């Protein structure tokens, strides 16, 4: 038997929603239509998404914790509004603008013409970084950039049987990612990056390092060094084997650092530069935030070693409408209200919207977790969608 009566109602009511119901929504939602029937599933039935749903189920809806794992999970399920107050990647840190402030994307284009490798960072807690990388991929494609290397793509061993390879390898012509393609790719903004890259004709490259024989007694520093070296080696091998390839590499946090950190850590970008002899254009989206009213280029913070990144992209303070980041509206999404009566009585539900012609294996155009008392919206570009509701059973709580 289903455990969440309100989520059952969601399926029934949304099954009756159509163009007439959408017309009663605000003007910006009128070009978004739902086609029934609406599917409702239990979280336990979704193999590819199970680990992420288990992480969501473990979060107390009334008091979300502020540790990094929880913040990344809530961001993955579209609830950045619940983490913005505790995440360092949303807090203004007072970076100074460049004394000469060129326009961001034209300056990146100019610099990108001088190399064949561009590396851009993201925070796993802020989807806006993926939106910017989507714009960047669009601008770089006419310059001959033809390979998008994503840290988040699931790697495979060389002898993996074809039937066990991830979907982006088995079926490269698909216009979407699937949840099995990589952990963070299940977030809708990351899924949009994949959709754009596929449409633009990028080759998708997984380069994460698989340590086949990890030392049980290895220190954290040794594990980090092994990973950075393995990633750089994988990328350098691809560059060596594909003459003329031009790479846009999307990474998390410090992997784009070109000089050692204060603790002496040699990150992937520095190692890749040494192995290939190519000086990459390195762009940080994580060093600065909240510096102005629009995206701008800022100076490297004083506590970051000089030469760490070539450019620092400084995003303005994040704002939210109905629990969703406003940058999605600037990217063309409509705000689509989820009726309050459809929220769960307890725990979480996850609402997904996919184009009508796509299977449920695809990473949806939007995916958001909702709980009782919320006023949360779907964020969707104009189109026709099918809705799916995932009933997330709360994880057992330890007795006090």
pLDDT of residue 94: 86
Element (H, E) at 228: helix 220-241
Q: 71-81 burial, b if ≥16 CB within 10 A, otherwise e? A: bbbbbbbbbbb
- Pairwise CA distance, residues 20 & 105, whole Å: 41
**Range list of β-strands (E), the chain:** 32-34, 39-42, 117-122, 147-150, 203-206, 247-252, 281-284, 296-298, 311-314, 320-321, 324-325, 334-337, 348-355, 366-370, 377-380, 383-392
pLDDT of residue 395: 65
Give the pLDDT confidence of 210-250 residue by residue, as tens digits.
988 888 889 999 999 999 999 999 999 999 999 999 999 99
- Pairwise CA distance, residues 122 & 274, whole Å: 23
In the predicted model, is pLDDT for residue 141 greater than 60? yes
Give the pLDDT confidence of 23-65 residue by residue, as tens digits.
334 444 678 998 888 888 999 999 999 999 999 999 999 998 7
- Structure token pair of residue 98: 């460049």
Residues, the chain:
400
- Structure token pair of residue 334: 């409509």
Give the pLDDT confidence of 334-388 residue by residue, as tens digits.
999 887 777 898 899 999 999 999 999 999 999 999 999 899 999 999 999 999 9
- Pairwise CA distance, residues 400 & 392, whole Å: 23
Contact 387, 14 (CB under 8 A): yes
* CB contact set of 51 (below 8 Å; sequence gap of 6+): none
Describe the crossing of helices 128-140 and 188-200 by its angle, rounded to 10 degrees.
10
Rounded to a whole number, what is the distance in angstroms from the first to the last CA of the chain? Answer: 29
Mean pLDDT, the chain, rounded, equals: 89
In the predicted model, is pLDDT for residue 15 greater than 60? no
Q: Which one is predicted more confidently, 36 or 110?
A: 110
Please, is 381 exposed, middle or buried when counting C-beta atoms within 10 Å of its C-beta (0-12, 13-18, 19+)?
Answer: middle
pLDDT of residue 396: 64
* CB contact set of 184 (below 8 Å; sequence gap of 6+): 72, 76, 124, 152, 190
Please, is 40 exposed, middle or buried when counting C-beta atoms within 10 Å of its C-beta (0-12, 13-18, 19+)?
Answer: buried
- Return the percentage of the chain with pLDDT > 90, whole number: 76
Give the pLDDT confidence of 176-203 residue by residue, as tens digits.
999 999 999 999 999 999 999 999 999 9
Please, is 394 exposed, middle or buried when counting C-beta atoms within 10 Å of its C-beta (0-12, 13-18, 19+)?
Answer: middle
């Amino acid at each position: 038997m289903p455990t969440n009566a309100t989520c059952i109602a969601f399926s029934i009511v949304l099954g009756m929603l159509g163009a007439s119901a959408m017309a009663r929504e605000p003007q910006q939602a009128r070009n978004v239509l739902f086609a029934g029937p609406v599917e409702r599933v239990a979280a336990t039935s979704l193999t590819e998404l199970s680990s992420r749903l288990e992480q969501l189920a473990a979060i107390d809806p009334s008091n979300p914790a502020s540790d990094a794992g929880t913040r990344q999970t809530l961001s993955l399920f579209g609830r950045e509004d619940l983490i913005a107050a505790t995440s360092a990647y949303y807090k203004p840190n007072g970076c100074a603008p460049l004394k000469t402030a060129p326009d961001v994307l034209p300056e990146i284009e100019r610099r990108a013409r001088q190399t064949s490798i561009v590396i851009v960072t993201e925070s796993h807690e802020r989807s806006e970084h993926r939106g910017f990388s989507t714009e960047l991929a669009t601008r770089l494609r006419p310059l001959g950039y033809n390979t998008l290397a994503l840290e988040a793509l699931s790697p495979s061993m060389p002898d993996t049987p074809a039937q066990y390879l991830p979907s982006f390898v088995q079926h490269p012509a698909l216009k979407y990612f699937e949840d099995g393609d990589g952990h963070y790719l299940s977030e809708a903004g990351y899924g949009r990056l994949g959709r754009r890259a596929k449409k633009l004709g990028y080759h998708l490259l997984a380069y994460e390092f698989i340590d086949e024989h990890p030392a049980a007694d290895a220190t954290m520093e040794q594990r980090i060094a092994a990973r950075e070296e393995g990633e750089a080696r994988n990328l350098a091998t691809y560059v060596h084997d594909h003459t003329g390839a031009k790479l846009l590499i999307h990474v998390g946090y410090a992997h784009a650092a070109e000089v050692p950190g204060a603790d002496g850590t040699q990150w992937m970008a520095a190692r890749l530069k040494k192995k290939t002899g190519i000086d990459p254009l390195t762009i940080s989206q994580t060093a600065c935030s909240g510096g102005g009213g629009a995206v701008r280029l800022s100076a490297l913070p004083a506590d970051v070693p000089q030469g760490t990144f070539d450019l620092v992209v400084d995003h303005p303070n994040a704002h939210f409408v109905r629990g969703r980041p406003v940058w999605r509206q600037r990217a063309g999404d409509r705000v689509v209200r989820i009726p309050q009566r459809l929220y769960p009585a307890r725990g979480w539900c996850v609402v997904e919207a996919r184009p009508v012609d796509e299977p449920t294996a695809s990473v949806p155009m939007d995916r958001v977790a909702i709980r009782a008392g919320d006023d949360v919206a779907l964020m969707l570009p104009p189109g026709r969608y099918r809705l799916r509701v995932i009933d997330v059973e709360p994880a057992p709580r330890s007795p006090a």
